[in-house]
Structure 1
Amino acid sequence: MRCQVCRKIFSLTDKPTPRQRSAHKNRQILTLLLNKMPFARICEACDITMSTLYGKIDFFHRQALAFVAAREQRLHQGFKKNRLYLATDRQDYVVNWTCRADKRNVTLSAVATADLQSGYVFGMHPNYDAGLDRNAVEAAAKQLGDPQTPSAFRRYARLWLESDYQRSVNDTLNRRQARGGQNDPAAVYADSAARQDPESSEEYDQGRKLPDQGMQVHSEYTLYAHFLLLRQLFRGVGKVRFYMDQESGIRAACLAAFQDRVRSREVDAFYVRINKEATVTERRALVAQARHRFQNARQAHPHLTEFEVQQLLMQQEIARASAIGKWKDRWLVHPLPSKAEPQKAVCYLTDFRDYAPDHLASLYLKASLHAVDRFFMLIRRRLSLLERPVATPSASGRTWYGYAAYNPATIVKLLEIFRVAYNYVWAGQDGKTPAMRLGLAKAPIALEDLLYFDAHTEPPRQRRKADRSGGGRTVPVRRRSELLRDPKPMEDEAVPWG
């Protein structure tokens, strides 16, 4: 409707689609967005402008937040489950430069935690705050003397200031020279010990800069917030086991958030390290060696079941574990790696030496980052803005990707939209979504139910959808129709040791 006095357009409806003049295109646009079509091609295919597309993304983001807020109420109210096995890792995303005079990249880092059994992603949190004005924060920080104040006593301690950036550039250069390109567990420990703050793993060099829009958040603050949220979600879970990438910040945040439950033996934490640089040939060779070792052990112990043989091999590795690093963490080599996780090494961070050998071996055998790594893989494959960019020697380490985002806030919105679709819309080969496996949904959610979700009338029975002529008609929503399907699971998701 239009006001006859000020001529502004307004809506009296309580539906979730006010000002959606092309609502009939929403499903098509969202489908293309989640299937790696570049923004310019979406505009061409759907006959819309770029400003309209960004408006649609804002609408999809609001709907995704409203939908997941309603569906995850059960988690916040005390989700009941006997055991949870979780994988935690981080992924970086590059933002294109917007000025030819300054060709440095902005890099965001997002931490995610996924359930190893259901695949459900409980959170995906980038280290970025789009609601702040950088110039205003910098001016206020200088007035308060934050750059000269120890970080623990700053007003804006969680945010990256220009003074922090300059110090980080110098520290990063010195650490990289000392590290010499090594990337084994011992080198990672040495690098952590060399940092002024072992919990901060962010490295800024001359090829990176802080965002021009919004403010970048220190990674350790994002990690602590992430694990404090998980603490709230898992209040009703009997025992929680975390399998985390080897990163001192992740370790500190996890143990700090769950310190009382670690002491009460309700929470355990493990480091998992994988050689992601191994070639396909090397991966196959490692899996073949492990399979040969398993078959020999099975022949030597014919009275044992397959799982008992796996426990036996793991107990042998536990006996050979060696202490590495400043904190003398005991690492072992996983005896049964998969092609997706070659040369897997595991470290038990909360070992009170109170578990029986078989129980301890079982926990080590479950060590994996596959659930969160698969989620990260699909982000790269399905979102054109977040595909891994390519660095060329002539670019001096800078990266440029024609489809990448120019505004970090767009990345934050797309990641939340993707998490909701991954958890509730896309079904695997078993016909179930991660939310169904976890018990938060009874069936896959159709995209229409997400796009036209209304918390006051959920679950929806009928939705008003505009036809192409601009009018409206009431049509039933088919909850299971035209579901987007996952790519087939990775062929090396499981290794048939038997």
Structure 2
Amino acid sequence: MLCQHTNYSASDATDALEDHDAYAVNAQIVPKSYSAETNHEISATASDLKTRIDLTYQNILARSNVEDPLGNYARFSYPAVGSLIRAPYTSYAHYLLILESLFEENSDGNKRITLYMPQDPVLRSAALSVFLKQIQSNHVELMYVEQDDQWQDGETSELVDVVLMGWWRDRWAVTHQSSGASKGVCYLAGNNPNVSYWLQTANTKQVSFYQDRFQLLFESFVNEPRRKLRPAGIHPLLDIFRAWHNLCYQDKQGLTAAQRLGVTDAPMTLRCLLD
């Protein structure tokens, strides 16, 4: 089951500070006067996974703040209505919601959760901070996962390459299939750093499918010029799409995400969902 959050707030904030001050009111708001700094992002393309991972690290380090993805924008357009939330605050809120949902009071103390995330320190910092207690008690594991679109689950892969990458010297394990597709895993926290196991099981296909399908279905609506200036109308659409994906959409076995978790007994129809 997937959920999606944005860094947009429908509420206007006129007193946000240009320079971030974590102790000030509205510290989480990106001010309307914000402008992108000189962009140093490397636009080169790479055919192999390890080179793409390395380019991502270089682009992260090119930001004025490595934990602020807005630093990679060559051009920045602020919405006419509402306000934007700084990326670290959005990331922390996202993981706090996951923590609240998965580790409720009086819940099973032996529950183990594994979080896969794309390669970005803003996500790593938020997850490490929010789940610190659960990580120390060996209930949560964190890792970066990057893979080629052509990667086939269940197919055997060749020798695993282990390499330290980026300024952080992150330990990546990369493996390759005979088709040429590759997958890489960087184990960040937990008590089971068995990269051979995670290279077989860790997967981000569902997240990619979710994002790509939303863009495919609603690209013209999202990119409509007036909608970009007034993005509040996208939030109800995101809610409907999330509910459809979790409660209505059936996989090849005819099961929804909610059915696989035992939350529902049968798929919901779109009409039932909207009613």
- Superposed pair shares fold, TM > 0.5: yes
Match of 1:344 in 2: 183
Q: Distance in 1 between matches of 2:229 and 2:64?
A: 32
Q: Distance in 1 between matches of 2:254 and 2:225?
A: 36
Match of 2:147 in 1: 274
Cα drift, residue 161 of structure 1: 0.5
Alignment of 1:213 onto 2:81 = yes
Q: Contact 2:59/2:72 (CA < 8 Å) preserved in 1?
A: no
Q: Deviations over 1:289-344 (max 9, x none)?
A: x96xx4xxxxxxxxxxxxxxx6xx5xx51xx41111222111121234889xx332
Alignment of 1:240 onto 2:113 = yes
Cα drift, residue 428 of structure 1: 2.7
Alignment of 1:231 onto 2:72 = no
Give the 3-state SS of the residue equivalent to 2:202 in structure 1. Answer: coil
Q: Distance in 1 between matches of 2:6 and 2:24?
A: 22
Match of 2:30 in 1: 160
Which of structures 1 and 2 has the bigger CA Rg? 1
Give the 3-state SS of the residue equivalent to 2:29 in structure 1. Answer: coil
Match of 1:11 in 2: none
Cα drift, residue 426 of structure 1: 2.5
Q: Distance in 1 between matches of 2:79 and 2:205?
A: 31
Q: Distance in 2 between matches of 1:404 and 1:244?
A: 29
Q: Contact 1:127/1:219 (CA < 8 Å) preserved in 2?
A: yes
Change (3 A) 1:155 1:346: same
Q: Distance in 2 between matches of 1:406 and 1:202?
A: 17
Give the 3-state SS of the residue equivalent to 2:168 in structure 1. Answer: coil
Change (3 A) 1:158 1:347: same
Q: Distance in 1 between matches of 2:30 and 2:22?
A: 14
Q: Distance in 2 between matches of 1:216 and 1:403?
A: 17
Q: Deviations over 1:412-434 (max 9, x none)?
A: 11011110111112223322211
Q: Deviations over 1:242-265 (max 9, x none)?
A: 111111111111111111111222
Change (3 A) 1:332 1:430: same
Match of 2:138 in 1: 265
Q: Contact 1:425/1:444 (CA < 8 Å) preserved in 2?
A: yes
Say what the alpha-carbon RMSD is for the aligned residues. 3.0
Match of 1:332 in 2: 173
Q: Deviations over 1:84-131 (max 9, x none)?
A: xxxxxxxxxxxxxxxxxxxxxxxxxxxxxxxxxxxx11x21111001x
Match of 2:262 in 1: 439
Q: Distance in 2 between matches of 1:204 and 1:213?
A: 23
TM-score scaled by length of structure 2? 0.82
Q: Deviations over 1:357-383 (max 9, x none)?
A: xx5522231122101111112212333
Match of 1:192 in 2: 60
How many pairs are equivalent?
264
Give the 3-state SS of the residue equivalent to 2:197 in structure 1. Answer: helix
Q: Distance in 1 between matches of 2:20 and 2:215?
A: 38
Q: Contact 1:201/1:248 (CA < 8 Å) preserved in 2?
A: no
Q: Of 186, 193, 216, which residue of structure 2 is paired with 1:381?
A: 216
Q: Contact 1:384/1:404 (CA < 8 Å) preserved in 2?
A: no
Match of 1:422 in 2: 245
Cα drift, residue 213 of structure 1: 0.5
Cα drift, residue 275 of structure 1: 4.8
Cα drift, residue 195 of structure 1: 3.2
Q: Deviations over 1:409-466 (max 9, x none)?
A: 11111011110111112223322211111111111113343333xxxxxxxxxxxxxx
The aligned amino acid for 1:376 is: Q
Change (3 A) 1:351 1:378: same
Q: Distance in 1 between matches of 2:207 and 2:112?
A: 20
Change (3 A) 1:351 1:264: closer
TM-score scaled by length of structure 1? 0.48
Q: Deviations over 1:368-409 (max 9, x none)?
A: 21011111122123335457x6xxxxxxxxxxx589665201
Alignment of 1:127 onto 2:7 = yes
Change (3 A) 1:206 1:328: closer
Higher relative contact order (CA 8 A, sep 6+): 1
Q: Distance in 1 between matches of 2:78 and 2:178?
A: 39
Task: State, as a whole percentage, how many aligned pairs show the same letter.
Answer: 26
The aligned amino acid for 2:131 is: F
Cα drift, residue 187 of structure 1: 3.2
Q: Distance in 2 between matches of 1:347 and 1:371?
A: 19
The aligned amino acid for 1:259 is: L
Q: Distance in 1 between matches of 2:231 and 2:199?
A: 38
Q: Distance in 2 between matches of 1:229 and 1:267?
A: 15
